[in-house]
Amino acid sequence: MTIVDFFQQSAGKWLSQRTSQNLSSMQSIAGTTDLWIEPLGADDREVVELQTKYGTDPALFQCGARIRWETKPTLDNRKESGATILVAFGSKDTPQEGKLLQKSTLSPTTFGASRYTIGTDDAVTLITESDTMYAEERLWFAAPNLRLRTSFVKHTNGTSLASFCSEIRMGNG
């Protein structure tokens, strides 16, 4: 699998069911979210903006996506929504690795860069690091309409969060 294959296979509407565990306080949180994943081309305005901001070689562009999300409210929280733009740029030397640029539409000044690798098991691993945290997320398809996700986030203040998501495709849009 390539990152392009992964993004193409991810397109559509998904129901995400998440369970998160704060490893410091041992508090668990569960919830569901609707996700809409839409492919973006190299000429999309937001793709070009990210490529320009990071000075990434346009020839290394692989694919892009807009991910809109909307949480389903529970008794103790309200409905929230937002979107993220993701843009993958490949590595010249290693086709199974590259850079993933992102921008949150909730905060137009929030940009980020991660690196991705694709294992021999076709799982995509995203690693994001900063001065204050380390995050690792692993995504894979158990079936064409079932995507699984695990993540681990560790902050320098000592807090850690682990989560598991199962995502079921609900349609193409």
Statement: the pTM of the whole predicted model exceeds 0.85: yes
Quick one: which H or E segment has residue 3?
A: helix 3-10
Q: What is the pLDDT of residue 119?
A: 97
Cα radius of gyration (the chain): 16
User: Which residue's entry shows tokens 């894979």?
Assistant: 140
Q: For residues 74 and 94, what is the distance between their CA atoms, to the nearest angstrom?
A: 44
**Series of mean pLDDT values for 10-residue runs along the chain (173 residues):** 96 96 88 95 93 92 96 76 94 91 75 91 95 94 98 93 97 74
Sequence-ordered list of residues with C-beta below 8 angstroms from that of 83, at least 6 positions apart, any chain: 66, 67, 68, 69, 104, 105, 106
pLDDT in tens, 32-65: 999 999 999 999 999 999 999 999 999 999 999 9
Q: Which domains does the chain have, with CATH numbers?
A: 3-171 (2.40.128.20)
- Tokens standing for 142? 């158990």
Alpha helices in 16-163 (DSSP H): 45-54
> 134 near 122, Cβ under 8 Å?
no
Strands (E), 10-93: 12-22, 27-40, 61-71, 81-90
